[in-house]
Structure 1
Amino acid sequence: MTIGGITSTVSAPPIMAARQWLRGLSFSQDRPFIDVSQAAPTAPPPLAMRQAMSDMVLSHDDTHLYGPILGNADLRNALAQHWNRSYGCDASMENVAITSGCNQAFCAAIATLCVDGDDVILPAPWYFNHDMWLRMAGVKTQALICDKALLPDPERAALMIGPRTKAIILVSPNNPCGVEYPATLLRAFYDLCQSRGIALIVDETYKDFHSADGAPHDLMQDDRWGDTLITLYSFSKAYRLTGHRVGAVIASPAQIKHIEKFLDTVTICPAQLGQKAALWGLEHLQDWVASERRATLSKAKVMRDGFAPLSDHGWRLMGVGAYFAYVEHPMTHLGSKAAPAILQDQSVLGLPGTFFAPAEMSTAENHLRLAFANIDEKTIEILVDRLIQATLRLAPDAKGA
């Protein structure tokens, strides 16, 4: 048997590739392992939710059965109402599809827009699973290289739109960079896509950790938003439901009908337990989510304020927000190999910028993504000190070292 299908067009999953660096390593008590590689909660859902979920498993027979392809009506309706409160729009359950995680939401959206040979515009640095799926779907990724502030330029994007361009994809707050796209920038991209007749896909996986107290954009206040905008969401981050795979697409009813075809073919329906937990979270955990947001924003402040000593050693904080800090390191002689070198030297696992960039983006060789949201504020301070020590040992000629 020859193995060489569409999966041969992409590299191994980056997180798993980084996990290979851990093989054979052991960590001492005086220098315990600090894992800032994965952008997802490592703690389980809050106890009250877990208790409710145990009752769902024991007492609700439909937890173990097939459900509607697009997800349970009560969850779709609850998410639509949540979106209306958050964005001042008038969405209904007909605008919502529940998916088996936000990655599947992205795959479903692309399946309704593109055929083999089409292209989409994706700002770089990018979320690697987006690029991986596009490659496997036969869709060309046009890399829109971000500026020094890690923001994409709509004027440059306009020049890239061709006859087979179907969408522009934005992630805000951004993964991997942590940057929150200003409302004016999101509006500029929306207006561009609307004028050119292509889709704007906005992945708001990390919206619950946005620093703005109000709505981060007003795109859905346009009565015709469904003609242009497709929004993706994840329950995983807000409610720590990563293992239950619950995401969503918010789009026009016409788009949702096409998404239903994709979901029926791939998973038939999202898992019942995860859906029930997500609904319970929407109904009971909004104060808890708000406290989680405050804690994450506080960690981001500690990361931002505590970065100055690293700057003195040649590091640069390029972006910080939501779960991430995106940084430039001074170990230019190591390039992307700095990540495994820092792991071996200081027991810190981050991800190299090359995981999030096209080959032509050579600057990514000297970038790292640090997912600080999974460690506490004291450990963030230890992380900074460890990175300084790594610089002194691995790049003694760096500025300030």
Structure 2
Amino acid sequence: MSAARTDATFSPPVMAARRWIEGVAFPDDRPLINVSQAAPVAPPPPELRREMARLVVEDPGSHLYGPVLGLPALREEVARHWTRAYGGPVAPDNVAITSGCNQAFTAAIATLCGEGDEVIVPVPFYFNHVMWLDMAGVRMVPLPTGDGLIPDAGAAAARITPRTRAIVLVSPNNPGGVEYPAETLRAFFELARDRGLALIVDETYRDFDSRAGAPHDLFSRNWEDTLIQLYSFSKAYRLTGHRVGAMVAAPARLAQAEKFLDTVTICPNQLGQRAALWGMRHLGDWLAGERAEILARRGAISDTFPRLGAQGWRLLGCGAYFAYLEHPFDIPSDILAPRLVEAAGILLLPGTMFRPADDPAGARELRVAFANIDKVGISTLLDRLAAYSPA
């Protein structure tokens, strides 16, 4: 019997990590600090929930099939926002709404790759991207990033082969948190354009970028033949359970993506789309406050990290929802992380979940997703890490 496609990849990392806390009791004076998953655990703001309740009762369309590529009004709203934010033309027919950003990625790969093709991915990587490449029969070509976790276009150029179809970038980055400089994105865009490749830029965390203004100028270029941008409404409006994302690309590519999307979900979640549209129109100030809070938490990690630095820890990257750490212990991170559950009351993910199995760097790395802990919680987290000793 031949192996199934799903045998080609690893188990979902977040689900694997959740099993570490099964049967573990956490005392009242040291509750679990869960920094394993990059998703808001709070519901949408009250005004958005009230609007969603109204839609459930009053809008029959929120319960029916809709267009495969998404609600026209939401596509138009994204196009308006993106044109204003990035300073380049994005039209409604450049926008597809998907069932979350992960589905946008799978759809993009479906339009680009066949069996045995290659996609260049910086490491450490976002594991769901690699899981899909594995299951699609596409070879992931790892691109080391080194200090600063910023990939280099020249290094990527050396890894291009006749089977290369795309380069994938995530900025702000998951798992590293770093924001790729505009010149880095421009260099990758020019490389992809010159080599006839697609550049997939996942900007799931764009709403929490610390920089003022557009993080890049790619939409102000002749972008349609090269750029595919991915986005998620989940983080901005706390709509994780409603699964609403977006793919911005050339209309011809979206026509191909429509074939894939129609066979998987038929259409995106209707209630979630309407909620995202209402959020884009009414929650600008609220979202600005969410961004300010995330940036304050980022600052709290950077400001207080020296207490760990004095013990040999390194802060490799920090931003958006993430801090990416290098630990000082003579123990692999995939053994250390489960031990931290009982020994320190911390659930986080080991770097081995974000690198190829033969990459030794992952054994020294840990990812902290800090979106759901406040500054007090961050201080407690760092205190517990500072107090931990494997001896």
Normalised to the residue count of structure 1, the TM-score between the two structures is: 0.96
Aligned to 1:81: 80
Which residue matches 2:320?
322
Call closer, same or farther: CA 1:261–1:334 in 2, change over 3 Å: closer
Q: Indicate the percent of aligned positions where both proteins have the same amino acid.
A: 57
Alignment pair present for 1:359 and 2:357: yes
Q: Which residue in 2 is equivalent to 1:160?
A: 159
Task: Kindly tell me the number of residue pairs found equivalent between the two proteins.
Answer: 391
Shift of 1:297: 0.3
CA deviation digits over 1:4-50, x for unaligned, max 9? 41001111100010011011101001101100000010100000000
TM superposition shift of 1:147: 1.4
1:142 aligns with 141
Mean Cα deviation higher: 275-284 or 85-94: 85-94
Report the 3-state secondary structure (helix = DSSP H, G, I; strand = E; otherwise coil) of the residue aligned with 1:44.
coil
CA distance in 1, matches of 2:2, 2:27: 41
Name the CA distance, whole Å, in 2 between partners of 1:177 and 1:360: 19
Q: What is the match of residue 30 of structure 1?
A: 29
Instruction: Give the secondary structure class of the aligned counterpart of 1:303.
Output: helix
**What's the CA shift string for 1:234-280, capped at 9, x where partnerless?**
00000000000000000011111111111111111001000000000
CA positional deviation for 1:333: 2.5
- 1:242-281 residue pairs with structure 2 within 5 A? 242-281=240-279
3-state secondary structure, aligned to 2:371:
helix
1:226 to 224, 227, 245: 224
Measured on the aligned residues, the alpha-carbon RMSD in Å equals 0.9
The CA distance in 1 between the partners of 2:215 and 2:225, in whole Å, is 20
Kindly indicate whether the alpha-carbon contact (under 8 Å) linking 2:333 and 2:351 is maintained by their aligned counterparts in 1.
Answer: no
Equivalent-residue separation in structure 2 for 1:134 and 1:88 (angstroms): 32
Match of 1:202 in 2: 201
The answer to whether structure 1 residue 113 and structure 2 residue 109 are counterparts is no
Aligned counterparts of 1:95 and 1:196: Cα–Cα separation in 2: 23
What do the CA deviations read for 1:170-229 (whole angstroms, capped 9, x no partner)?
Answer: 00000000000000000000000010000000000000000011000001101x200100
Report the 3-state secondary structure (helix = DSSP H, G, I; strand = E; otherwise coil) of the residue aligned with 1:52: helix
Q: What is the distance in 2 between the residues matched to 1:355 and 1:316?
A: 19
Structure 2 unaligned spans of 5+: none
User: 8 Å contact 2:322–2:370 — kept in the other structure?
Assistant: yes
For 2:181, the equivalent position in structure 1 comes to: 182
1:3 Cα deviation after fit: 9.0
Contact 1:45–1:240, Cα closer than 8 Å, also in 2: yes
| Contact in 2 for aligned 1:120/1:167 (Cα 8 Å) | yes
1:286 is aligned to 284
Q: Tell whether the 8 Å contact from 2:73 to 2:277 is kept in structure 1 after alignment.
A: yes
Give the Å deviation of 1:336: 2.2
Conservation of the 8 A alpha-carbon contact between 1:147 and 1:153 = no
Per the alignment, residue 390 of structure 2 pairs with 394
Tell me the residue number matched to 2:44: 45
Residue 398 of structure 1: aligned partner: none
Shift of 1:373: 1.5
Structure 1 CA distance, aligned partners of 2:158 and 2:377? Answer: 44
Spell out the pairing of 1:302-381 with structure 2 (5 A cutoff): 302-381=300-379
SS of 2:300's equivalent in the other structure is helix
- Any conservation in 2 of the 1:336–1:367 contact (CA below 8 Å)? no
1:20 paired residue number = 19
Deviation beyond 3 Å, 4+ runs, structure 1? none
Counterparts of 1:271 and 1:365, CA distance in 2: 39
Conserved 8 A contact 1:187-1:217? yes
Taking the aligned partners of 1:335 and 1:81, their CA distance within structure 2 comes to 44
Contact preservation (8 Å) 2:331, 2:363: no
User: In structure 2, what is the Cα distance between the partners aligned to 1:85 and 1:3?
Assistant: 51
1:273-320 Cα shifts (integer Å, max 9, x gaps): 000000000000011111100000000000011100001111100000
Displacement of 1:155 in angstroms is 0.7
Q: By how many angstroms is 1:331 displaced?
A: 1.6
Separation of aligned partners in 1, 2:325 and 2:352: 12
- Output the CA distance in 1 between the equivalents of 2:195 and 2:334: 38
Q: Structure 1 CA distance, aligned partners of 2:286 and 2:56?
A: 23
Question: Once the 2 structures are TM-superposed, how far is the Cα of residue 334 of structure 1 from its aligned partner?
Answer: 4.0
CA distance in 2, matches of 1:263, 1:125: 28
In structure 1, distance between residues paired with 2:4 and 2:46:
43
- Superimposed CA distance per residue, residues 52-73 of structure 1 (whole angstroms, 9 cap, x where no aligned partner): 0000000001111000010010
Name the aligned partner's letter for residue 188 of structure 2.
Answer: F
Question: Structure 1: which amino acid aligns with 2:89?
Answer: D
C-alpha distance in 2, partners of 1:159/1:92?
Answer: 34
Equivalent-residue separation in structure 1 for 2:300 and 2:291 (angstroms): 14
Q: Which amino acid aligns with 1:109?
A: A
Alpha-carbon separation, structure 2, partners of 1:45 and 1:18 = 26
Which residue number corresponds to residue 10 of structure 2?
11
Q: Tell me the TM-score normalised to structure 2 length.
A: 0.99
Distance 2:362 2:147 in 1: 12
